[in-house]
Amino acid sequence: MTQATTIDGKAMAAELSAEISAATAKLVANGKTKPGLAVVIIGEDPASQVYVRNKKRTAEACGFNSVQHTLAENVTQEEVLALIDDLNTDPAIHGILVQLPIPAHLDELTVTQSIVPEKDVDGFHFQNIGMLTSGNTDGAFVPCTPAGCMLMIEDQLGKDLSGLNAVIIGRSNIVGKPIASLLLKANATVTICHSRTKDLPQVARNADILVAAVGRPQMVKGDWIKPGAVVIDVGINRIEVEVDGEKKMRLVGDVDFAEAVEVAGAITPVPGGVGPMTIVMLMSNTLQSAQRA
């Protein structure tokens, strides 16, 4: 049995990034405003700081106007909404993103829904979700992680997924549900599973396309996977491992990569798979917003 193809998210993201940079340069050359991305980060969450730095670096590399607003942990809801209101009306800003998670005293729903749909480059506004769910994706912003996952799936299997079974493990609004809508639109037969699904390994074994987005380290084992399936691992989990007697933190996905790579046809690694694609899709959404504006 040959090993699965490893889907190189870094290489795909670099290619897309180059296309976005070229389109941005063309926009500016035609006298239009360069795409503006505003990131709002609240508090000191270390993982969030890393993500925001990566987003800023990528935005600048694409030639965007990148703005960061760092707010204190104890900021009031009114202050956050006032900032978003300013960004909603700022013509230099085309994309607004509030880095999640936010402190518990703030209402996440109120905050995310206060971003106007045409600047909601994360795709969390109910209007964008509704358009995606009803299959009207042309005018909508699709959440960045599912959008990146779909490009990777299409790269392996083409745009028409007729006759293929797709199984998604995880029903979140950020990944599970939107990827289901995208897969349905591409004519796949879609099953959404979660922690209460009966005999999950058996359901997973039917999948020609398996998307793991459950947030549990290495939960999906090799014997859960149909031989030759395309496996998209959305999980990012930090686990402690021992290397030469020393304890170190290591990033792993929701799939046991060492086992899965022996069975699958193609698989995304963690890190270097879905992550880089997520950030570049955010840039793609911001560019689209600027082009529409």
Q: Which long-range contacts (CB under 8 A, 24 or more apart) does 74-80 make?
A: 74/103, 74/105, 75/42, 75/103, 75/106, 77/105, 77/106, 77/107, 77/110, 77/111, 80/40, 80/42, 80/106, 80/111
Pick from 75, 56, 57: nearest CA to 67: 56
Annotated active-site positions, please?
55, 99, 122
Rounded CA separation 61/43 (Å): 26
Query: Which of the 8 DSSP states describes residue 99?
Result: P
The tally of CA atoms less than 13 A away on the side-chain side of residue 25 is 8
* Cis preceding linkage at 91, omega within 30: no
Rounded CA separation 238/38 (Å): 28
Rounded CA separation 38/96 (Å): 5
The tally of CA atoms less than 13 A away on the side-chain side of residue 18 is 5
Pick from 34, 15, 14, 37: nearest CA to 24: 34
Are 13 and 279 a contacting pair, CB within 8 Å? yes
Where b means 16+ CB within 10 Å and e means fewer, 229-239 reads bbbbbbbbbee
